[in-house]
Chains A and B, each alone.
Chain A
Amino acid sequence: MYQYDEYDEMVVKERVAEFRDQVSRRLSGALSEEEFLPLRLQNGLYMQKHAYMLRVAIPYGVLSASQVRMLAHIARKYDHGYGHFTTRQNIQYNWIKLEEAPDILEELATVQMHAIQTSGNCVRNITTEQFAGVAADEILDPRPLAEILRQWSTFNPEFAFLPRKFKIAISSSAEDRAAVRMHDIGVYLYRNDKGERVLRVFAGGGLGRTPILNSQVCEDLPWEHLLTYIEAILRVYNRYGRRDNKYKARIKILVKALGVEAFAAEVDKEWRHLQDGPATLTEQEYARVARYFAQDRYEVLGAHDSMLEKHLAENKRFSQWVKRNVRPHKVSGYATVTLSTKPGAAMPPGDVTADQLEHIATWAEEFGFGEVRIAHEQNVILPDVRLRDLYSLWLRAVDQRLATANVGLLTDIIACPGGDYCSLANARSLPVAAAIAQRFDDLDFLCDLGDLSLNISGCINACGHHHMGNIGVLGVDKDGEEWYQVTIGGSQGNESALGRVIGRAFRAEEMPDVIARLVETYCQLRLEDEPFSDTLLRVSPEPFKANVYRQAAAPNESIPCPR
């Protein structure tokens, strides 16, 4: 993974000093809260219901074991012993004291970490997929360009006060696992017919109040123009994006207002001035960054391991876990493991304790090359596990409640912290997630059901990406009460789609039944292993709505078997 040199070290050190000074000016009253607000946000510090929340950047979801240990240390020393992995591959702590925030940043800087631009109206953490560098279907490793973008966006002086937040994702696999189409800018890196690296650039996507998939603005931009082209997009947005209404300030509204052709033409006009300028990337810089991501420590191993096959045959729970949570690796004899942070009702999705983090760090070293990834689905990935180690890893992950075999299943719930913590939320997310997890605690049933995504957001800001879920739940406030609106038909990947609302909202206690009825309808209507989205497209939302809104059933209605 990327290692800081003296320049990168200096940037985070100087940031700590600057932020320490800003905090002390706030505490002394020299800065008003209004003036401090954007400064603390640009450093990931939110004021929440009970305390400050600090969001620490995990650039494109990549962590080293020593960084994971530092995250555990911070959870223990400055928080209540846990952290929460977010839907943008970051981690946040919910119980932070303002006066301690600079000390936390100073500790983070010792392991090359920071909280720069994890919030605020600026370019946020650059995200990519959790399997970058190891996925069997990868075209090119997206991480070098993600790191180059991270550096370019860090304290970019022109774009520190954009109309609204700005999220960039980059992907380079046959299957898009980075939700590229949901981002303000989505970049797809591939090779053209001549074998050259080129970029397909999309702009104007985003969730929130007006969810929109982004539109293609450039088909085959040579990779070296990445920074100048993105600068052109941002300049057009910075100058012409709306600033009068927070809910109309994202770039998606500008792209929609101008029309994608006119927007792309405007960007192109701007880019002609920047094209081939000094920000044009060089092969040398690409190589400098890319070498940090090259992994040459793989052993030469066979594609099969007899002990593994024996365990698979003998242990159903292990075999279920391998089926759901273990993915093929591009290197023979290796696999990629996803540790689920969703063990069920007892733990909010994405939450991990300091103890769990320390175990994860140990496993990363013992069963891999000391590297960990965070998925936007809020799970933790060990990218390089030898097949022969899978069983021992599983046993230890079971002990730490990190081996729930539910990756991609209904209980792999993606949820924001919601009204329990967040002051923006209209409703709580976590009790709803817990009630649904409790209702669907039969893993065999879920495994038979197969892939089905459920996303929960506590407000329209959509941190739980509810529009992307096959089933989406949005908390809304009606006269001071919590209600939940349900969408169906969302999906990520190459066939990205946004979910649509099915009808009137529900009370929290109705939600497990509502989900059960959607699942029931799906089970009744699907053909063989047909994915949820395909069934929905084929039969229309009507049967789902009819079943959900029929007269209330008796308590504890049963769910039929999926097959």
Chain B
Amino acid sequence: MSTIIRIIDGIPRIVADEWEVLRPESAVASAYAYQIVPLAQFSSALDQGVASDIRAVWISPENDFEPLIAHLLSLEIIAVDFPSFRDGRGYSIATLLRTRYGWAGQLRAIGDVLRDQLNFMRRCGFDAFAIRPDKDIQDAMKSFGHYSVRYQGAADDPLPLFRRR
């Protein structure tokens, strides 16, 4: 079983995790209950009326997820994929899920998730981080401790510093 970082009661912790990300290229139908399926698969399952078994979905930055938002909100986990750590679309997707659509469940960053991006991700509303498997997850934990000051509001705290200064 692999491990991920989760923010629990405001504190980042390394926890065991049983969820498996189902990538389209390896999309073999399986009965495994802890699957995070691609948005497209969720969408077609909805069309066919067989979406009730799906508990977790991941969104690619290429996906137009907003038309499905009402359905997404009933899931256990929403994950957002970072195909490359340089691709910053996931930060806006997370921000929208948290601040506009009211997603309160687990929001997980998957894909090219590296230590130096974690603090930005957390501020945009992610509370679960599947660190790229070749990286040291213990080391990645240090990312959360670098900053104590935030100038601007974000999903984690909408109040900008100037309203507290």
Q: Give me the interface of A with B, judged by CB distance under 8 Å.
A: 5, 7, 10-11, 14, 17-18, 21-22, 30, 35, 38-39, 121, 148, 151-152, 154-163, 227, 235, 238-239, 243, 273, 277-279, 281-282, 285, 288
Contact = CB atoms under 8 A, between A and B. Distances in A.
Contact of B151 (A14, A151, A160, A162): A151
A315 to B, nearest CB: 50
B148 A30 contact: no
Contact of B160 (A152, A158, A161, A162): A152
B91 A158 contact: yes
B87 interface: yes
A119 to B, nearest CB: 14
A457 B115 CA distance: 37
Contacts of B121: 157
B122 to A, nearest CB: 8
Given A35-B114, A161-B86, A235 B165 contact: no
A206 B104 CA distance: 39
Counting from the closest, the 9 A-B pairs by CB-CB distance are A161-B88, A157-B123, A157-B120, A285-B162, A151-B151, A18-B146, A158-B91, A10-B149, A278-B158
Interface string B133-165: 000100100100011111111100011111101
A239 B87 CA distance: 10
Interface string B82-99: 000111110111010000
A158 B124 contact: yes
A239 B119 CA distance: 20
Contacts of B136: 30
A172 B163 CA distance: 26
B160 A7 contact: no
B76 interface: no
A27 to B, nearest CB: 15
18 contacts: A7-B151, A14-B149, A21-B142, A38-B86, A148-B162, A154-B151, A155-B120, A155-B147, A155-B151, A156-B151, A156-B152, A156-B154, A158-B123, A158-B154, A161-B86, A277-B153, A278-B160, A282-B162
A249 to B, nearest CB: 11
A7 B147 CA distance: 11
Contact of A159 (B91, B148, B158): B91
Contacts of A277: 153, 158
A160 B91 contact: yes
B124 A157 contact: yes
Given A158-B124, A278-B159, 4 more contacts: A155-B150, A155-B151, A278-B160, A279-B153
Interface centre among A18, A30, A158, A239 (most CB of B within 10 A): A158
B20 interface: no
A159 B151 contact: no
Nearest to B164: A7
Contact of B116 (A7, A22, A278): A22
A35 B153 CA distance: 27
A239 B92 contact: yes
Contacts of B150: 155
Contacts of B158: 277-279
Contact of B85 (A11, A158, A161): A161
A103 to B, nearest CB: 18
A282 B163 contact: yes
Nearest to A7: B149
Contacts of A14: 146-149
A283 to B, nearest CB: 11
A152 B151 contact: yes
A160 B152 CA distance: 13
Interface size for chain B: under 10, 10 to 19, 20 to 34, or 35 or more residues? 35 or more
Contact of A160 (B88, B161, B162): B88
Given A39-B116, A158-B95, A10 B148 contact: yes
Contacts of B139: 30
Contacts of A158: 88, 91-92, 95, 120, 123-124, 154
Interface string B5-31: 000000000000000000000000000
Contacts of B165: 5, 7, 285, 288
Interface centre among B89, B116, B122, B147 (most CB of A within 10 A): B116
A151 B161 contact: yes
A112 to B, nearest CB: 14
Contacts of A159: 88, 91
B92 A7 contact: no
A14 B149 CA distance: 9
Contact of B92 (A11, A17, A151, A238): A238
B141 to A, nearest CB: 13
Interface centre among A155, A157, A238 (most CB of B within 10 A): A157
Contacts of B100: 273
Nearest to A288: B165
A158 B160 CA distance: 14
B114 A161 contact: no
B142 to A, nearest CB: 8
A152 B114 contact: no
Interface string B38-70: 000000000000000000000000000000000
A536 B151 CA distance: 48
Contacts of A30: 136, 139
A239 B154 CA distance: 17
Contacts of B86: 38, 121, 161
A35 B95 CA distance: 24
Contacts of B117: 160-161
Nearest to B157: A278
A227 B159 CA distance: 13
A281 B162 CA distance: 8
A282 B121 CA distance: 28
A22 B143 CA distance: 11
A273 B102 CA distance: 13
B89 A152 contact: no
Contacts of B91: 157-161, 238
A154 to B, nearest CB: 5
Contacts of A162: 88
Nearest to B123: A157
Given A279-B160, A285-B162, A243 B152 contact: no
Contact of B163 (A5, A235, A278): A278
B120 A11 contact: no
A11 to B, nearest CB: 5
B96 to A, nearest CB: 8
Interface centre among B95, B117, B139, B149 (most CB of A within 10 A): B149
